[in-house]
Amino acid sequence: AAKEAGRNTYQYYSQDVLAGIQRRLQIEHALHGALEREEFQLVYQPLVNVDGTRPPAIEALLRWVCPELGPCSPAEFIPVAEKCGEITRIGEWVLNEACRQAAAWHAAGLMFERIAVNVSAMQLRERGFAEQVIAICERHRWPPHRLELELTESALIRDSDALRQCFDTFERNGVLLAVDDFGTGFSNLHYLNRFPVQRLKIDRSFVQRMLHDAGTAEVTQAIVHLGHALGMQVVAEGVETRQEEAMLLRQGCDEIQGYLYSRPLPSRDMAQWLRRCDEGDGPGPQAPTQAD
Ligand code: C2E
Ligand code: MG
Ligand code: MG
Ligand code: MG
């Protein structure tokens, strides 16, 4: 019986694996030409500066509604796009669209400090990536020091001359760098000194647990101390409640991002949020909206 159960388990497992592969193949197929068919869109989420001395920043997040598969989360399709090489062109589109929108908002008099764009490890390794970023800023007359690239730890652990040159170009031009999902990479922290990083983003998984688990709260506190000791700013992502915010503020966190202030919004709604923020006495928590 045990043998049979084992065999069944194996069958279930292989079915799962098969379904996963099938789904990835479907996504890969659907991604082909998705740019040309204009299936991508950006949504925007504010990062709120807690001492109120600076206007909020904005992170651009990619959305894809595939005609065949329906809405597909970036957590699912970005890894596929990385594997099939499509991320290069998609990533370039994201940078271009984010800078275009940011420049248009500034031209319309909306106040925000910087626009943050997620960049995959594969883009960073591409030849000429830094020059491409600067060229996109120039095209839209967007100041490079108002552009922040969010990188994951995995993008930073592999040191190379090419990567160094890339970061040199960013530093010379004032492009800002943030480490996204900080604390989830289990990497050594050497890269924090080697590369011109200005900001750490505490991963949402820590924020979720910090109120219920003293150990996790110590981790977030340690990240804030570490960031500040290295002259960096520290952001918490995925902040949903006043209680979470209060603890992060006590810990010295510089910026708060999460549903507490706003969900990711389509560009129109983001513009309205910025306008309200500028007219009122700074951004306050908002009722959760439907948009994502
Ligand atoms: P990320 O950069 O760490 O972005 C934060 C994610 O958390 C976003 O998910 C955002 O919608 C979600 N989030 C923000 N606040 C809250 C909150 O209070 N509660 C909860 N439950 N979630 C919150 P999203 O948009 O699905 O993106 C997932 C990941 O996909 C991103 O994580 C990023 O790694 C990647 N991604 C998104 N857009 C791009 C892109 O243009 N290029 C690349 N390379 N990756 C992207
Ligand atoms: Mg991010
Ligand atoms: Mg993040
Ligand atoms: Mg994250």
Written as six digits, the tokens of 211 are 């109120």
CA nearest ligand 1 atom 28, residue: 75
| Ligand 1: nearest atom to the Cα of 82 | 44
Average pLDDT over residues 193-210: 95
Q: Is the CB of 72 under 6 A from ligand 1?
A: no
CB atoms within 10 A of CB 276: 12
Q: Is the CB of 204 under 6 A from ligand 1?
A: yes
- Of the listed ranges 236-240, 246-250, 252-256, 281-285, the one predicted with least confidence: 281-285
Pocket test for ligand 1, best of 88, 204, 242 (most atoms within 8 A of CB): 204
Query: What is the 61 CA–ligand 1 centroid distance (Å)?
Result: 6
Q: Is the CB of 41 under 6 A from ligand 1?
A: no
- Stated pTM of the model: 0.93
Q: Is the CB of 71 under 6 A from ligand 1?
A: no
Q: Is the CB of 118 under 6 A from ligand 1?
A: yes
Determine the pLDDT at residue 4.
55
Determine the pLDDT at residue 260.
97
CA gyration radius, the chain: 20
Query: What is the 119 CA–ligand 3 centroid distance (Å)?
Result: 11
CA nearest ligand 1 atom 12, residue: 238
| Cross-strand pairs, 57 | 47
Average pLDDT over residues 275-291: 66
Alpha-carbon span 155 to 143, nearest angstrom: 24
Average pLDDT over residues 194-218: 96
Residues 67-117: tens digit of each pLDDT: 999 999 999 999 999 999 999 999 999 999 999 999 999 999 999 999 999
Determine the pLDDT at residue 108.
97
**DSSP-derived 3-state class of residue 259:** coil
What H or E segment, with its residue span, contains residue 118? strand 115-118
Q: Is the CB of 120 under 6 A from ligand 1?
A: yes
Average pLDDT of the chain, as a whole number: 92
For the chain, how far is it from start to end, CA to CA, in angstroms?
Answer: 48
Q: Is the CB of 270 under 6 A from ligand 1?
A: no
- Tell how strand 40-49 and strand 70-72 pair up: unpaired
Residues 153-195: tens digit of each pLDDT: 988 888 889 999 999 999 999 999 999 999 888 667 888 888 9
What H or E segment, with its residue span, contains residue 117? strand 115-118
Pocket test for ligand 1, best of 118, 182, 208 (most atoms within 8 A of CB): 118
Q: Is the CB of 79 under 6 A from ligand 1?
A: no
Give me the amino acid identity at 287: A
What H or E segment, with its residue span, contains residue 101? helix 87-107
Whether the Cβ atoms of residue 195 and residue 232 lie closer than 8 Å to each other: no
| Cross-strand pairs, 72 | 64
Determine the pLDDT at residue 64.
98
Determine the pLDDT at residue 157.
83
Q: Is the CB of 240 under 6 A from ligand 1?
A: yes
Whether the Cβ atoms of residue 231 and residue 192 lie closer than 8 Å to each other: no
